[in-house]
């Protein structure tokens, strides 16, 4: 797992290497982390740090979608490059099979039998994802498996 100190060191390295893309992305990420810490009133834990990192990736994905609709390929390329930098700090994504296995184990653990139990399953599942799958992906799998019951 990446820490705030790791990101600060990566920023220093990017500055030494004069890597403007990485420098810009890391500054924006550290700024978002600092803002989240101010809102919380305490340093972020690993889970919250990963959530902030994922939020930054999601924001850029939304920007790409809007830029594609507007025909702005320059903005699309810039944001894709930023996403690549950010994904370097995220843990490896879960495969669909791994995600489904984890969801099945949580459903069994919670004794969930219908879609009405989805909230309880997601509450237990979300911390276990550890930034390796999005909440949307997880909820889609939970819904599909609970509807199959």
Instruction: Give me 9's structure tokens.
Output: 């060191």
Q: Lowest-pLDDT range, 34-48, 68-82, 132-146?
A: 132-146
Higher-pLDDT residue of 23, 1: 23
3-state secondary structure the chain: CCCHHHHHHHHHHHHHHCCHHHHHHHHHHHHHHHHHHHHHCCCCCHHHHHHHHHHHHHHHHHHHHHHHHHCCHHHHHHHHHHHHHHHCCCCCCCCHHHHHHHHHHHHHHHCCCCHHHHHHHHHHHHHHHCCCCCHHHHHHHHHHHHHHC
Write b or e for each residue in 116-138: b if 16 or more Cβ atoms lie within 10 A of its Cβ, otherwise e: ebbeebbeebbeebebbbbeebb
List pLDDT tens digits, range 51-74.
899 899 999 999 999 999 999 999
Q: How far apart are CA 113 and CA 147, in angstroms?
A: 9
Higher-pLDDT residue of 115, 16: 16
What pLDDT does residue 32 have?
95
- Domain map (residue ranges) of the chain: 4-87, 96-148
Domain 96-148 has CATH 1.10.10.410: yes
List pLDDT tens digits, range 81-115.
999 999 998 888 888 899 999 999 999 998 888 88
What pLDDT does residue 92 have?
82
Closest CA to 130 of 91, 100, 104: 91
Instruction: Give me 94's structure tokens.
Output: 């879960």
Judge whether residue 149 has pLDDT over 70.
no
List pLDDT tens digits, range 26-44.
999 999 999 999 999 999 9
What fold does the segment set 4-87 form as a domain?
A: Hypothetical Protein Yqey; Chain: A; domain1 (1.10.1510)
What pLDDT does residue 64 have?
95
| Tokens 């220093």 -> residue | 12
């Amino acid at each position: 797992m990446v820490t705030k100190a790791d990101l600060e060191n990566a920023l220093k390295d990017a500055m030494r290497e004069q890597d403007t893309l990485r420098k810009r992305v890391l500054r924006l990420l550290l700024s978002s982390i600092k803002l989240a810490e101010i809102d919380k009133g305490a340093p972020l834990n690993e889970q919250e740090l990963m959530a902030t990192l994922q939020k930054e990736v999601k924001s850029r994905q939304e920007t790409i979608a809007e830029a594609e609709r507007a025909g702005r390929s320059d903005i699309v390329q810039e944001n894709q490059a930023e996403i690549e930098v950010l994904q370097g700090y995220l843990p490896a994504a879960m495969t669909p099979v791994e995600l489904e296995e984890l969801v099945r184990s949580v459903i069994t653990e919670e004794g969930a039998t219908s879609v009405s139990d989805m909230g309880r399953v997601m509450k237990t599942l979300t911390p276990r994802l550890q930034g390796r799958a999005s909440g949307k992906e997880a909820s889609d799998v939970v819904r599909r498996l609970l509807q199959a019951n």
